A and B are shown apart, each in its own frame.
Chain A
């Protein structure tokens, strides 16, 4: 595991400080306690305190990491929209009052298989593709992929041409149709720009899981698993090795960072 670690796994950096003198032992003991607290898992994917995996601010995102999500469709509950509500709250999107024009970074989709009539429900958001069409088509480079695989929009150079919305096969992007107030300072938004799921990059950089993942766990469904796809030891990688998973529109070969299990 690299320095940033995988939030899906326990991290205990405090164990490295074992060879100090007696005077430091008390401190170390306290640190170990704190570390234990920090790694205390309230529910799968959610921690009481999450400091250990945070990346220092001055350190750039690393291509050694590829953040991803695994969504277990068999655990996702029809009618449950906790992930959607958590996303809206975390990112200052507010309630969806006008479904046609309000931003929806994540949405619940109900599926029914034509052949069998099997009904499913799953969350759909930016799939954080390795080959994102939105990034390819963006004229100014405002749509970009961070080194760790998170696809983002630079709000400073988005001109609002909406070509990325034409290009996204997942309809994962929203356009800010009207002025907004009461924003989350960590998630700046602006009228006339395109936006979409950031995978809660501000939380990831603090060493936390995305808000939707936390909310799903808090609801007891634990249908969303977040972690480093590049780390063979991460829970998400292990799970993907163990069970059959698939991606949406696999035929397009975009290599999305979001995978679905049980689809």
Chain B
């Protein structure tokens, strides 16, 4: 199990240069400050200052927040493949995987909290639980996730506690599956709207999380190698690249199945027509963003022979972009399509009944969303500066002793 403990690598190799470090902190800090300004503005003026209204109640902040939460659970898979499935290449990456899981989850939850109507009542949210609410269960899953992954991380990085890493790795793996099931079910349990209310949401979100999380991991790992002047291990990169391709393909499969089943149900055809053909920005985001940029193109980049680090990073960035597009389509597109209040009737009212709901997000909403990324980014940058998170493979570092 000693391999699970990250090696005490020479500082010069595992830490970005001080200038780079300060620059990264400043960049992340700037985004965080912008997010803070947006938060204070919305908090003071109310949501009237956002593009959200009584029809589009969850907007861009939720797109970023849910993406980060889903990707956070997915990024932990790298550690799980090491601890649960015993793959040494992934064990070496387990600490970074655990760290990213924590920081991205924190980033997502910060955005979710900042977008509440009453963020000052966070304490109420953790003291009053409606256990029938999947949202409340999610809060328990998120809290547990922090505790379990933090403990797992400690066992990974502390040689003395290393024997417990496997057990905690198992626990973290099952916990994260439950967590993403619950996150997908936030939408899966909504009977009101045509876009949601499907049991497929839970497994689909799990497979999305696999893809988004691994893509995020590959981007961070490549950046860290670049900071330290290291090249990726070609063999390991090839394995991870193929795994990402499998996840992206599986995500596409679930998306296709979801829409094909919808097309089979007469009551869902109007929604599918909206999303696939007539939905304007949502149709574009679906075909161009989620399917094209986030699915087909990265698959091609990953599977056409000769993919090196650059191509893998580009593919990963595209998967991330596609993930944001998918969240936009799922969350905002699902609300834009009008409710079917009286089936068989055309409806109209002063409350925007019967029409496709317009949504024009303000820059502050994007600032809040990017703030979640900045929050995760800053904690990650500081953590990798002070602790040895850099993935080291046996072939690359003689300091790393693999014993299992």
Contacts and interface: CB of A to CB of B under 8 A. Distances in A.
Interface of A: 96, 98-101, 103-104, 107-115, 120, 124, 133, 135-142, 157-163, 165-171, 173-179, 190-194, 248-249, 251-252, 263
Given A174-B54, A263-B342, 19 more contacts: A96-B350, A100-B53, A104-B350, A107-B350, A108-B349, A111-B345, A124-B349, A137-B190, A138-B135, A139-B139, A160-B118, A166-B192, A167-B192, A168-B192, A169-B192, A171-B351, A176-B117, A191-B46, A248-B342
A52 B352 CA distance: 41
B121 interface: yes
A198 B373 CA distance: 40
B350 A165 contact: no
A174 to B, nearest CB: 5
B190 A167 contact: yes
Contacts, number: 175
Contacts of B351: 99, 104, 107, 171
Nearest to B135: A139
B193 interface: yes
Contacts of A112: 345-346
B46 A177 contact: yes
Nearest to A169: B192
27 contacts: A101-B47, A109-B353, A114-B345, A124-B341, A137-B133, A139-B133, A140-B124, A140-B128, A141-B130, A158-B118, A158-B121, A159-B121, A160-B117, A160-B118, A163-B135, A166-B192, A167-B189, A167-B191, A169-B192, A175-B47, A177-B47, A178-B47, A178-B48, A193-B117, A248-B342, A249-B340, A251-B343
Interface of B: 45-48, 53-55, 57-58, 116-119, 121-122, 124-125, 128-130, 132-136, 138-139, 186, 189-193, 335, 339-353
Contacts of B350: 96, 99, 104, 107-108
Contacts of A179: 46
Contacts of B53: 100-101, 177
Interface of A, secondary structure class, is loop
Contact of A191 (B117, B342, B349): B117
Nearest to A253: B191
Contact of B117 (A99, A100, A107, A159): A159
Given A112-B346, A140-B125, A169-B191, A192 B48 contact: no
Contacts of B138: 139
Nearest to A141: B130
B346 A109 contact: no
A124 B341 CA distance: 10
Contacts of A104: 54, 350-351
B123 to A, nearest CB: 10
A139 B135 CA distance: 5
Contacts of A193: 117-118
Contacts of A168: 192
A96 B346 CA distance: 23
Contacts of B122: 159
Contacts of A158: 117-118, 121
A252 B191 contact: yes
B236 to A, nearest CB: 41
Contacts of B341: 109, 124, 169-171, 248-249
A176 B53 CA distance: 10
A170 B125 CA distance: 26
Given A157-B124, A161-B116, A111 B54 contact: no
Given A139-B133, A141-B129, A161-B135, A178 B45 contact: yes
A246 to B, nearest CB: 10
Nearest to A104: B351
A178 B48 CA distance: 6
